[in-house]
Amino acid sequence: MKNQTVLIGLDGATFSILDPLINEGVMPFMKEFMASGTRAELLSTVPPLTPPAWTSLVTGRSPGHHGIFDFFQRESENHHISFTTSNNLLCETVWSNVSRSGMRVTSLNFPLMMPPPEVNGNVVSGGWMTSRQLRFGCYPDGLYDRLKSLPGFNPRELAMDMSHEEKAVEGCKHEEYEDWINTHIRREQQWFKILLHLMNEDPCELTGILFDGVDKLQHLCWRFLDPNCLSGQLSSWEGKIRDLCLEYFRQLDRFLAEIAGVAGPEATIVMASDHGFGAQKEIFFVNSWLEQNGYLTWADDEPPKEGESATLGMGQLARHVYMLDWDKTLAYASTPSSNGIHIVKAESNNNKGVSEKDYESFRSKLMESLYKLVSPSTGEQMVTRIWTREEAFDGPNMHLAPDLTLALRDGGMFSILSSDSTIRLCPEPSGTHRPEGIIIARGPGIRQGITVDQTSILDVAPLLFYSLELPVPADMEGSVPEYILEQSMLAKRPVLTGNASRSMSPVTSQSTAELGYDDETEALIAKRLRALGYIE
């Protein structure tokens, strides 16, 4: 068996960073790969956020259908949120669908794969896991023990450390940068070694890996990567951090070259990102704005305020349940990641909130007020686009989505903390998500050396099916981007439509033992969550 199709996920990759790195000679293989394939901007989901975006990429379905909107999931109509897991996924992924066709698959480090699906092949889950839990994120039984025998295998560096995740978006002390970047360099090495081992020892028709350090480095180190932020002489410390960032991308380029070499010249290789990136220069404290405009009331006189190193409120997730006065609050934001505002429905909140008959007029008034908000530093409109849930998340699971989703002027994430000023400048530019990601594809029948117009993230899964010579499931919302294919290939092998993929039922309850949480692991996760403010 050969490695027929390889999906390489580059979390948050953007041409605005990759192209300058290529021009500087940092990524010679990436330059060669682009020249021998087709590239395009890949339009992400609304919002351009990791969990819904990667889920759309590997399902070909939009969030209103697959049911994933954020790192955290709202529990029906109440105000509580919980971690999003594969139990919340309501559409079949390419991994299970291709597996059902009789082909073998390998999936490494993709989010929302915990607990892992039972596929014909191998899965190592990505997402919220401790190193002790990693064994339970592997499928089939025995895979973890086989991987553990690899030289240099280190489960602590493979698992997601929540303290590192918080630093990516909240920042850290200067003396912590070097170790933080080196940790991500080593972490990518771990995933690369696992991938290479499985490609050589157990080649599959569909192989996928997600390198997520791209996203992490761009969040924290944007000003060291973006050419627009590099004017002037760098200090000794700044130069060292930039050099470390470049070393990360040099290493990544070497990994990509070796993966392509193992896959072979007849393989289809698709590199894609879940979203793009850009600079965030201002912070909008949305809950403070809601409070000042009479939509939100804190439960006590000491609402959570931003600290010197925490501005978005990642450490306050889930505390909104205790911090808000639900008898008086009409609208609130519970997470900074989704840029979403929830409206309190009176019918599900002891008749306190917005009634069903007043909902439309209330929502329209709220949108109108948000659109009038301007930046005090520039005088420009702060909120440039607002989607209602019907516009952004049409589908059977729309009720789980925020009522309103905001796009800010600089594309940034808002803060859920309280602040004396509702808008203020960032101390220094940081990286934040943009809708324009990347796709670069190379292989038999794919046009060479061209750039095409923007395509949808929903089109990636159909392209994978086509590359495997499988019919595209009828219920996929995306389609094969035929404009990247040679006409001779389409004439020889036209796109076929197959049966609909399987629908998935949500798992509403599962014991902690079934998810791989022993007492010690539960205690460790609880300690970390409490330290970050996720739980009381």
Residue 147 within any structural domain of the chain: yes
Residues 232 and 306 grouped into a single domain? no
Is residue 215 scored above 90 in pLDDT?
yes
pLDDT of residue 522: 45
CATH number of the domain where residue 262 is located: 3.40.720.10
Residue 531 within any structural domain of the chain: no
The average pLDDT across 383-409 equals: 95
Residues 388 and 444 grouped into a single domain? no
- What percentage of the chain reaches a pLDDT higher than 70? 86
Is residue 512 scored above 70 in pLDDT?
no
Residue 532 within any structural domain of the chain: no
Residue 525 within any structural domain of the chain: no
Chosen domain end from 377, 400, 432: 432
Question: Which pair of tokens denotes residue 210?
Answer: 């997600």
Nearest-angstrom CA–CA distance, 15 and 40 = 9
Is residue 511 scored above 70 in pLDDT?
no
**Between vectors from CA 218 to CA 213 and to CA 220, what angle results, nearest 5°?**
100
pLDDT of residue 510: 44
**Between vectors from CA 294 to CA 288 and to CA 297, what angle results, nearest 5°?**
65
Q: For helices 174-201 and 162-170, what crossing angle results, to 10°?
A: 120
More confident residue, 126 or 128: 126
Is residue 2 scored above 60 in pLDDT?
yes
Q: Side-chain half-sphere of 92: how many Cα atoms within 13 Å?
A: 20
pLDDT band at 420 (very low <50, low <70, confident <90, very high): confident
pLDDT of residue 76: 57
Q: Which of 35-49, 76-90, 263-277 has the lowest mean pLDDT?
A: 76-90
Total domains in the fold of the chain: 2
pLDDT band at 333 (very low <50, low <70, confident <90, very high): very high
Is residue 303 scored above 70 in pLDDT?
no
Residues 120 and 134 grouped into a single domain? yes
The average pLDDT across 456-480 equals: 98
pLDDT band at 85 (very low <50, low <70, confident <90, very high): confident
Chosen domain end from 405, 432, 459: 432
Chosen domain end from 385, 416, 432: 432
Distances (CA, A) of 438 to 18, 26, 177, 198: 10, 18, 27, 26
- What percentage of the chain reaches a pLDDT higher than 90? 70
Q: For helices 28-35 and 236-263, what crossing angle results, to 10°?
A: 50
The average pLDDT across 301-319 equals: 51
**Range of the structural domain that residue 147 is part of:** 5-275+435-516
- The shares of helix, strand and coil residues in the chain, as percent rounded to the nearest 5, are 40, 20, 40
For residue 518, give the amino acid letter. D
Cβ atoms of 132 and 524 within 8 Å: the answer is yes
pLDDT of residue 178: 94
More confident residue, 399 or 319: 399
Query: Taken in order 184, 186, 187, 193, is the CA torsion positive or negative?
Result: positive
Residues 44 and 128 grouped into a single domain? yes
Nearest-angstrom CA–CA distance, 223 and 184 = 18
Is residue 401 scored above 70 in pLDDT?
yes
pLDDT band at 530 (very low <50, low <70, confident <90, very high): very low
Query: Taken in order 271, 274, 276, 280, is the CA torsion positive or negative?
Result: negative
Residues 13 and 126 grouped into a single domain? yes
pLDDT band at 451 (very low <50, low <70, confident <90, very high): very high
Residues 243 and 117 grouped into a single domain? yes
Cβ atoms of 317 and 533 within 8 Å: the answer is yes
Residues 102 and 187 grouped into a single domain? yes
> What value does the mean pLDDT of the chain take?
88
Residues 229 and 343 grouped into a single domain? no
Nearest-angstrom CA–CA distance, 513 and 125 = 17
Residue 37 within any structural domain of the chain: yes
What does DSSP assign to residue 405?
Answer: E
3-state secondary structure of 497: strand
Distances (CA, A) of 354 to 346, 361, 432: 5, 10, 33
Nearest-angstrom CA–CA distance, 37 and 278 = 25
Contact residues for 215 (Cβ-Cβ < 8 A; gap 6+)? 11, 12, 50, 168, 277
Is residue 534 scored above 70 in pLDDT?
no
Encode pLDDT of 23-41 as tens digits: 999 999 999 999 999 999 9
Distances (CA, A) of 328 to 201, 243, 331, 332, 432: 61, 51, 9, 11, 33
3-state secondary structure of 82: strand
Measure CA 509 to chain center: 25
The runs of H, that is alpha helices, within 264-404 are 286-292, 320-323, 359-371, 389-392
The average pLDDT across 168-181 equals: 82
pLDDT of residue 82: 73
Choose among 380, 275, 347, 235: nearest CA to 46.
Answer: 275
pLDDT band at 77 (very low <50, low <70, confident <90, very high): low
Residue 76 within any structural domain of the chain: yes
Encode pLDDT of 476-498 as tens digits: 999 999 999 999 999 999 999 99
- Which residues in 134-245 belong to E strands, given as ranges? 138-139, 206-211
pLDDT of residue 527: 45
Is residue 73 scored above 50 in pLDDT?
yes
Residues 184 and 48 grouped into a single domain? yes
pLDDT of residue 320: 60
Question: Strand 121-124 to strand 138-139: parallel, antiparallel, or no bridges (unpaired)?
Answer: antiparallel
Choose among 118, 100, 117: nearest CA to 205.
Answer: 100
Measure CA 464 to chain center: 20
Residue 71 within any structural domain of the chain: yes
CATH number of the domain where residue 407 is located: 3.30.1360
More confident residue, 267 or 521: 267
Choose among 64, 67, 61, 157: nearest CA to 112.
Answer: 67
pLDDT of residue 309: 39
